[in-house]
Amino acid sequence: MSELPKRVYIVEEGAREGFQSEPADIPTSEKIRLIEALAETGVPEIDCASFVNPKVVPQMADVAQIAEGIRKREGVTYGCMWLNAKGFLQAVDSGLSLPALTSGSASDTFLARNNNSTPEKQIEGQRKLRALYTEHGLGSGPVYLFTAFGCNYEGDIPVAKAMQRAEDLVGVCEEAGTPPSCIYLCDTIGAADPMQVRALVEAVRTRWPDYPVALHLHDTRGLGIANAMAGLELGVSRFDASVGGLGGCPFAGNRSAAGNIATEELALLCERLGIETGIDIPALLDVAQMAEEIVNHKLPGKLFRAGMFARN
């Protein structure tokens, strides 16, 4: 019944997606301090910042300084994110690792309301970006399918609909001769339940058996770790998560909504299932505590508050 992976690769999102949900007054030095502390815990990849319009996302106005300021640890990937060509070109100059991102929304309403775009324009934009990546010598990269399970406008997204949008995004990569390195199913607003996760992961695996499935899960409604478990049992071996559950969900229509699943809780679940992550959980609990001090409000993570137990 279970196809648990032997090893799971966790991408730490706290410094990027997490801080993006916080007020813009966190000092650059504190952001760097968190990234450097995370790198000491065995997390293999840290998403450090977004190259986005600082007028829209003032939290990321210091992204170049962050990129420049990090003392990098060997063996750790320091990634970043962007939404368009301008952002990508800034990222190129940053010295951060460049994943060749191809992304799009499964929900057309979400795309229209949040990006003032259409499925056709979305794909056209991604095609141009993909060409730019190739110009810059980037090969395959991940596909991110946002709102893959549901959105706050359309509710549940049917599997067939999500697959249609995934097909478009995978097509962009394949046409360019750079097939996806993995396909991320993103529960952007925390709408998924374990059955939906199973259904969509299985559909993607059946359609593209050669492209690994990854999960980007939010815990907006408290089902995040059950959704992660559903993914693990289907062999999903790449997840995004954020230390302490840092972050929120600007799309949940509520500033106090919970963020990504907590990295240390996902790592604990993996450890309990005999799956390697390379993460030193007690060290990560200390970093979650640090993250809470930096943002100066209670983070949703539970494990770092309770601590580990004897012999566990």
Q: Is 293 in the site for its own copies (CB under 8 A)?
A: no
Binding flag, residue 303, its own copies (CB under 8 A): yes
Interaction of residue 298 with its own copies, rule CB under 8 A: yes
Which of residues 193, 203, 275, 286 is near its own copies by CB under 8 A?
Answer: 193
Measure the CA–CA gap between 177 and 2, rounded to whole angstroms.
Answer: 34
Q: Which of 26, 92, 112, 273 binds its own copies (CB under 8 A)?
A: 273
Report in angstroms how near the CB of residue 198 gets to its own copies at its nearest: 10
Distance, CA of 276 to CA of 266 (rounded, Å): 11
Q: What is the 3-state secondary structure (H, E, C) of 48-111?
A: EEEECCCCCCHHHCCHHHHHHHCCCCCCCEEEEEECCHHHHHHHHCCCCECCCCEEEECCHHHH
Asked if 225 touches its own copies (CB under 8 A), the answer is yes
**Helical ranges in the chain per DSSP H:** 19-20, 28-39, 63-69, 85-92, 108-115, 119-135, 159-175, 194-207, 224-232, 263-272, 281-295, 303-306
Q: 287 Cβ partners below 8 Å, 6+ apart?
A: 34, 37, 38, 40, 41, 243, 244
Q: Does 48 qualify as catalytic in the annotation?
A: no
> Is the CB of 83 or the CB of 284 nearer to its own copies?
284
Closer to its own copies by Cβ: residue 29 or 254: 254
The answer to the question of residue 191 lying near its own copies (CB under 8 A) is: yes
Distance of CA 230 to the CA centre of its chain: 17
Give the C-alpha separation, 287 to 301, whole Å. 12
| 155 torsion bin: left (phi>0), alpha (psi -120 to 50), beta (else) | left
Q: Is residue 89 a contact point for its own copies (CB under 8 A)?
A: no
Residues between 134 and 173 with contacts to its own copies, criterion CB under 8 A: 150-156
Nearer to its own copies, 50 or 152 (CB): 152
Minimum Å gap between C-beta 210 and its own copies is: 25
The residue range among 14-22, 55-63, 113-121, 263-271 that interacts with its own copies, by the rule CB under 8 A, is 263-271
Region binding its own copies by CB under 8 A among candidate stretches 31-39, 40-48, 221-229, 234-242:
221-229
Which residues are annotated as catalytic? 249
Binding site for its own copies (CB under 8 A): 1, 150-156, 189-191, 193-196, 219-223, 225-226, 228-230, 249, 252-254, 256-258, 262, 265, 268-269, 272-273, 298, 300-303, 305-307, 309-312
